[in-house]
């Protein structure tokens, strides 16, 4: 039985490959695939993702090897960045409720 | 996907029990409880200690949230590579 954390990692991998397989190289996200992924999967976190300059900026930030697409390793940076942003917010939430039961 | 990110964050926060970072014991509990299926050796206290040393960039003897994300990212990358090799995609990992 996979744990919650293992299941979470698994689902991040699945999400990436589901969108990466739509067009272009199958193991990487094109700009359009990244945009669809963010619109469908991160609409609660990234309210301003409709702004086309946001997606360009994120794409540029993520594309560490400069090949114009986002591979899984580069996608992980997005996950890390979002986790760091959420950490502060969940920490405050937890402090206010004082419960550690998930 | 937002749920998955929330799980990643919450697993750390609940293991740290309100503290800034994870001490050795809590890190061991987290690894044993949450990563037992994808990591071997999680039952060995010394293996977990070695892993913790490897993650501890700032050498404070604890695992910060950033250091924990390094581990999660590393594991996700290896899992993803395993999967794409298994399914026959030739996206060679570059290092």
ipTM of the complex: 0.88
- Asked whether A87 and B13 are in contact (CB, 8 A), the reply is yes
User: A16 lies in a domain?
Assistant: yes
Burial class (CB in 10 A: 0-12, 13-18, 19+), A26: middle
Residue with tokens 């892993």: B51
pLDDT per residue over A51-91, tens digit each?
Answer: 778 888 999 999 999 999 999 999 999 999 999 999 988 88
Check residue A53 and give its pLDDT. 85
- Whether B37 contacts chain A with CB within 8 A: yes
Residue A87 lies in a domain: yes
Count of positions (residues) in chain B: 95
- Please indicate whether, in this complex, the C-beta atoms of B18 and A94 are within 8 angstroms of each other: yes
Instruction: Centre a 10 Å sphere on the Cβ of residue B81 and count the other Cβ atoms it contains.
Output: 18
Would residue A61 count as lying in a domain?
yes
Which domain covers residue A37, as residue numbers?
4-97
**Hey, of A1, A12, A77, which one would you mutate to test binding to chain B, going by the most B CBs within 10 A of its CB?**
A12
CB-based contacts of B56: which residues, under 8 Å, 6+ apart? B62, B63, B67
Give me the mean pLDDT over the B9-35 stretch.
95
Domains and CATH numbers, chain B: 8-81 (1.10.238.10)
Alpha-carbon gap: B29 to the closest alpha carbon of chain A (Å): 13
């Amino acid at each position: 039985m996979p744990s919650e954390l293992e299941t979470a990692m698994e689902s991040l991998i699945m999400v990436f490959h589901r969108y990466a397989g739509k067009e272009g190289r199958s193991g990487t996200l094109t700009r359009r695939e990244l945009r669809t992924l963010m619109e469908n999967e991160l609409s609660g976190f990234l309210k301003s993702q409709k702004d086309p300059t946001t997606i360009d900026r994120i794409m540029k930030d993520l594309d560490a090897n400069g090949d114009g697409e986002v591979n899984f390793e580069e996608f992980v940076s997005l996950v890390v960045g979002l986790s760091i942003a959420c950490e502060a917010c969940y920490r405050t939430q937890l402090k206010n409720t004082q419960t550690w039961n998930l | 996907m937002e749920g998955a990110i929330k799980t990643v964050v919450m697993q750390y926060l609940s293991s740290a029990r309100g503290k800034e970072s994870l001490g050795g014991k809590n890190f061991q509990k987290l690894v044993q409880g949450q990563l037992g299926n994808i990591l071997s050796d999680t039952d060995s206290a010394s293996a977990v200690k070695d892993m913790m040393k490897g993650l501890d960039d700032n050498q404070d003897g604890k695992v910060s949230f950033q250091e924990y994300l390094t581990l999660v990212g590393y594991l996700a990358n290896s899992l993803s590579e395993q999967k794409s090799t298994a399914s026959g995609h030739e996206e060679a990992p570059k290092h």
